[in-house]
Chains A and B, each alone.
Chain A
């Protein structure tokens, strides 16, 4: 069976399931009410006195952060809990079709809720003379962002049969993705990386991270196949090295010259990276009407990555 057919069959079923449950209506009402009241009460729609939907889109990352995981949490957790996962995955379809089909259903649903905000467009159009292109671009950006968040929810939902855990996990991930590029946070980050404690923690974290990676690789290549004593000794060494890392700048040769420069560069690029992986920058550009291929690619990358992980989770953690 072609990928389109099987995917669409699953999408149809899933969409029907959304509209059969009260979650759909609750979500739509919440989304419309919150987005309207935030726009007019908190977003300063009227004081801005401009014919744009900036006050409206401003709140979308924050709304989506809670609402999208609420839509996505059931995607796979529910299948696991009901045991229908067993039915679905023993059907003659690719796991990727199922992942895609379910994701599309959720995304179409989110798109439906977004389309229902059209009175906003009418309002600005009635009050002034807005730029249609900018508004369309904002809507596309918002839709893409909801897709990225939904893919993340799909990923967390594939990991557990508990919807609540799935919800909390994906809210946390979405929150981090927002925070990393939210201007108050980035300005703090930039200040932070000038402080010596930030550099110290960074080095310590790096030590722990590298140690864990090396241990994992050794486990996989079964050099240290699951021996408890070896891994205890390993973590002991890591703890000592972490302490050394915490005070690296006090240790003569480490705290100077090239090494110091390297650590500072690392800190700077980390902050830079955090800003780049955040949805904020990308969404902000789109809602201001700036069309950049990189922003589109960013959202697509997040979706592909999260959906791919969903597939891997479903293949490896079936029980």
Chain B
């Protein structure tokens, strides 16, 4: 058993050319046991391509990948046997039954006899596939298909998991289950998950990597990502009593606050947001609250914004529209 903290997935300066186009450009990644690395990026950024290189499906144009110390190109069998992989769109053999498919996956992973049955039963239980175990795969609904392929990936309890959009097509309950499962497995495994759902990153990931047009543009924790938001640390609230102008004037005087902004005024209340100043933004909410109490204004919904991931995402990746206008 390898020690925790050891890099299970290590991609160094990997690039991928498809003919003349560069799909992945010098990306480096490192995932240790106990980490869930979220992999974000706009459509066509190269997430799936990177994962395909990590799992040894696509040959690398440059760079190297090691899984648990085994080079994916030099020693592919040892490296691949450590990996569970859920490809994009959850491919599976349509004519097989769910159970048959899982048995096949278990056997080809090298499990034998009792082990196969045990692994398959465990996977069926964990992925809630009991209801469809004898159904043939081409008649499954999208969510069940996705879950079957997910089951295939975790079947042999691999130390490394690579999942390309694992919650794609699942219902809210299943999304929740899968997230919990990934979080739970993330305690002992090294996991890479790509997703377009930003809340998911917050919910399950210990680290985030964002790539855009093949290049790595952000690496850090979800908290760090959020902190990049211009909104992070801003205080919003709704105040009853003063007019908007009066409120603005008083809020400008609060130390550690930037220029306040009226969001809406309705039912006699004014919703405002005070962004933090560049320095001394700590305790802003407390000072704003004290101001209202001093003035005797009633207020509600007072809270500090944690920052918005979608905003940061837009800021660090250039949207297609900008690209096209710029080109």
Contacts and interface: CB of A to CB of B under 8 A. Distances in A.
B89 A83 contact: yes
A3 B89 CA distance: 30
Contact of B83 (A6, A10, A16, A90): A90
A20 B138 CA distance: 12
Nearest to A13: B104
A82 interface: yes
B242 interface: no
A86 interface: yes
Given A1-B110, A9-B104, A87-B152, A92 B77 contact: yes
Contact of B59 (A87, A93, A318): A318
Contacts of A5: 110
- Residue with the highest number of chain A CB atoms closer than 10 Å, among B83, B92, B96, B104: B104
Interface size class of B (residues with CB under 8 A): 20 to 34
A231 interface: no
Contact of A94 (B59, B77, B107, B109): B77
B73 to A, nearest CB: 11
Interface string B134-148: 000000000000000
A283 B286 CA distance: 93
A23 to B, nearest CB: 11
B110 A315 contact: no
Interface in A281-295: none
A319 interface: yes
Interface in A1-34: 1, 5-6, 9-10, 13, 16-17, 20-21
B155 to A, nearest CB: 11
A87 B92 contact: yes
A84 interface: yes
Interface string A69-102: 0000000000000111011011111100000000
A82 B91 contact: yes
A89 B85 CA distance: 11
B256 to A, nearest CB: 53
Nearest to B164: A86
B110 A20 contact: no
Pick from A5, A17, A20, A92 the residue with the most CB of B within 10 Å. Answer: A92
A9 B81 CA distance: 16
Interface in B122-159: 149, 152
B120 to A, nearest CB: 14
B289 to A, nearest CB: 55
Nearest to A10: B108
Interface stretch (B24-32, B49-57, B260-268, B274-282): B49-57
Nearest to A82: B91
B80 A91 contact: yes
A315 B108 contact: no
A91 B108 contact: yes
Contacts of A87: 85, 87, 91-92, 149, 152
A84 B93 contact: yes
B223 interface: no
B95 interface: yes
Contact of A90 (B59, B80, B104): B80
Contact of B109 (A21, A84, A91, A319): A91
From B88, B92, B95, B96, residue with most partner A Cβ within 10 Å = B95
Interface string B96-113: 100010001101111000
Contact of B77 (A9, A13, A82, A93): A93
Nearest to B81: A92
Contacts of B95: 16-17, 20-21
Given A6-B108, A87-B87, A94-B77, A82 B93 contact: yes
B318 interface: no
Given A9-B104, A13-B104, A86 B80 contact: no
A86 B52 CA distance: 8
B91 A90 contact: no
Nearest to B79: A92
Contacts of B91: 82-84, 86-87
B203 interface: no
Interface string A304-319: 0000000000011011
B162 to A, nearest CB: 9
Contact of A93 (B18, B108, B152): B108
Contacts of B88: 83
B296 interface: no
Interface in B28-70: 52, 55-59
Contacts of B89: 83
A84 B145 CA distance: 13
Contacts of A93: 77, 108
Query: Which 4 A-B residue pairings sit nearest by Cβ, starting from the closest?
Result: A83-B91, A92-B81, A20-B95, A92-B80
8 contacts: A82-B93, A86-B87, A87-B87, A90-B57, A90-B83, A91-B80, A93-B77, A319-B18
Given A1-B110, A86-B85, 16 more contacts: A6-B110, A82-B91, A83-B91, A84-B93, A87-B87, A87-B92, A90-B57, A91-B80, A91-B105, A92-B76, A92-B81, A92-B108, A92-B109, A93-B77, A315-B59, A318-B58
